[in-house]
Amino acid sequence: MSLQSRKIALVGGGQIGIALALMITQKDHAEVVIVDLPGMVDPIKGKALDIMALRPHAGVDVEITATSDYAEIADAEVVIITAGIPRKAGMSRNDLLEINKGVIESVAKQVAEHAPNAFVVLSTNPVDTMCQIFHKTSGFPKERVIGLSGALDSGRFRLFIAMETRFSAKDVSCMVMGGHGPAMIPLTRTATVGGIPIQTLLSEEKIEEIVDRTRHAGTEIVQLLGHGSAYISPASAIMEMVEAYLYDKKRLISSSVLCEGEYGIDDCFIGVPCVIGSGGMERIVEMELTEGEQTQLQHNYEILQENLEKLE
C-alpha cells in the first residue's frame, strides 16, 4: 500500500520514463506505475528498486511499480506517454511516424479504458502527430492531451542564450512555437535576459547561430550519444508541465495542443503558447505574429498536415 495519495502512470519505462520516475521520486510527488512491454518489466523493476533505494537518503516515500497490465494505471491523475522508438543518428523524428503510430493507437485504447479522466502528456515522436493520433483514438477532450515541444525547445533556446551571454539561464525568457522539428520557430524578438532584449546583448550573427543550434539540439545530442536520444532535458521539461497541472500553476508554456482556428490553424496539434493549470490545457494564448513568423508557422502547419496525409 502506497503512502502517496496520487498516482502518475508512465507508459514506457525507457530512458525518459526512468528519468521521470527518478524526478517524481526526488520531489515526492506521487506513486508511480510504469507500464511497458512484458519482456521489459523485469529490468524496469530492477531500475525501480534502485530508485526506491533513494528513500532513506532523500527522505521520500515514493512507491514505484512496473507492469505490463494497464489495469494498474486506474485512477492515475496523470499519464505520461514515452512508449515507442527513439530515433538513431541520421534519422529525423518523422522517420518514426509509421512505427510509433501503431504504438500510440494501442496505448490510447488502453488509457481510454483504464484512466479515462487522466491528463495525458506525450513525448513519443514525432510528437505533434502522435498527439493527434492519441486524441483521435482515445476520444479525450483536447484540454487533456498535450505534447512536449516548446517546454523542451525553449529550454534549449534559453540554455544557449545563457551560455553565450554568461548570465543565469533562470533569467533568460523566450518562446519557441511550431512543430517539434527542425522547422520550429525560436521567436528571437521574445527573448530577454532579465527583461533586457537579447538584441542588445548579442550580435545578429550570434543570435542566428543560437537559433540554428536550438532547432537542431535534439540531433546534436543524438549524434553525440551514438545510441538513443535526449532524455534528461525531455524529462525535466515534462515535469514542468505536469507540476503546472498538479498544482494549478497557470504556467504559460508553449506546447503541442489542438488548434481549432487559432493562428489560422485548423484541426492540427502544433506548438503554441498555452496555459497549463488544473483544467489541463486551459487556453491557447494568441499573440500577434509578424508576417515572417506567421509564414514560418504556416510552413510548420503544412509539414504536419503532410504527416497526417502520409498516415491516411
Active site residues: 180
What three-state secondary structure class fits 152? Answer: helix
According to the binding rule CB under 6 A, does residue 15 interact with ligand APR? yes
- CA atoms of 310 and 116, how far apart (whole Å): 29
According to the binding rule CB under 6 A, does residue 152 interact with ligand APR? no
According to the binding rule CB under 6 A, does residue 182 interact with ligand APR? no
DSSP character for 74?
A: T
- Candidate segments 121-129, 199-207, 254-262, 304-312, binder of ligand APR by CB under 6 A: 121-129
298 dihedral zone (left: phi>0; alpha: psi -120 to 50; beta): alpha
Strand (E) or helix (H) holding 208: helix 204-215
- CA atoms of 229 and 249, how far apart (whole Å): 29
The residue whose Cβ lies closest to ligand APR is: 14
Place of cell 551571454: 165
Please give, one letter per residue, the 3-state secondary structure of 218-282: HHHHHHHHCCCCCCHHHHHHHHHHHHHHHCCCCEEEEEEEEEECHHHCEEEEEEEEEEEECCEEE
CB closer to ligand APR, 45 vs 55:
45
CB closer to ligand APR, 94 vs 165:
94
CB closer to ligand APR, 15 vs 94:
15
Sites for ligand APR among residues 204-243 (CB under 6 A): 228-229, 231, 234
Taking the complex as a whole, the smallest distance from the CB of residue 179 to ligand APR amounts, in Å, to 14
Q: Do residues 130 and 105 lie in contact, with contact meaning Cβ atoms separated by under 8 Å? A: no
Number of residues that bind ligand APR (CB under 6 A): 29
Per CB under 6 A, the list member of 10, 12, 184, 268 interacting with ligand APR is 12
- CA atoms of 239 and 8, how far apart (whole Å): 11
According to the binding rule CB under 6 A, does residue 86 interact with ligand APR? yes
According to the binding rule CB under 6 A, does residue 125 interact with ligand APR? yes
Sites for ligand APR among residues 29-48 (CB under 6 A): 35-37, 40
Per CB under 6 A, the list member of 25, 67, 94, 123 interacting with ligand APR is 123
What three-state secondary structure class fits 129? Answer: helix
According to the binding rule CB under 6 A, does residue 285 interact with ligand APR? no
According to the binding rule CB under 6 A, does residue 11 interact with ligand APR? yes
Taking the complex as a whole, the smallest distance from the CB of residue 193 to ligand APR amounts, in Å, to 28
Residue 210: CA count within 13 A, CB half-sphere: 28
Chain positions contacting ligand APR, by CB under 6 A: 11-17, 35-37, 40, 82-87, 96, 100, 103, 106-107, 123-125, 228-229, 231, 234
